[in-house]
Amino acid sequence: MSSVLFTSLSGLLTQGKRLQVSAENVANLRSLGHAQNAQGEDNGGFVPHRLEQISTAQGGVRGRVVAIDPASVPVFQPDHSQADEGGFVPRPNVELEQEFVTQIIARRAYQASIKMIEVEDERLRYLNDILT
């Protein structure tokens, strides 16, 4: 496989994963966030993630999903059934604006990878026509 195709395909896969991780964060924006109570028991809440993009030795990229730390932030909602004694509820540490930016970046990177595949395909066809 051409190194251009390998790099572009790895970019497609990585950006698809980035979009998936961001979509999960947005879908769980109002979920109960991950926290531990005073006894150290886990509440089973949502843990948001992000994707770290890592260059590979072969010239492509891969993504590594990592948890956002801290996983939750306290939000004052004294009427909520899950509120603590201070009236705070743990919510996922997700900023909707940042997730939109992440999704736009993933979309543009995905489009760039597709364009590189199209250009490489055209180049290979041209070379094949010359050789035949």
Cα separation, 71 vs 87, in Å, equals 19
Tell me the per-residue pLDDT of 5-61, one tens digit each, with 9 for 90 and over.
889 999 999 999 999 999 999 999 999 998 877 777 788 899 999 999 999 988 899
Does pTM top 0.95 for this prediction?
no
- C-alpha angle 109/113/119, rounded to 5°? 140
Tell me the per-residue pLDDT of 55-83, one tens digit each, with 9 for 90 and over.
998 889 999 999 999 999 999 999 999 89
SS3 91: strand
Cα separation, 40 vs 70, in Å, equals 16
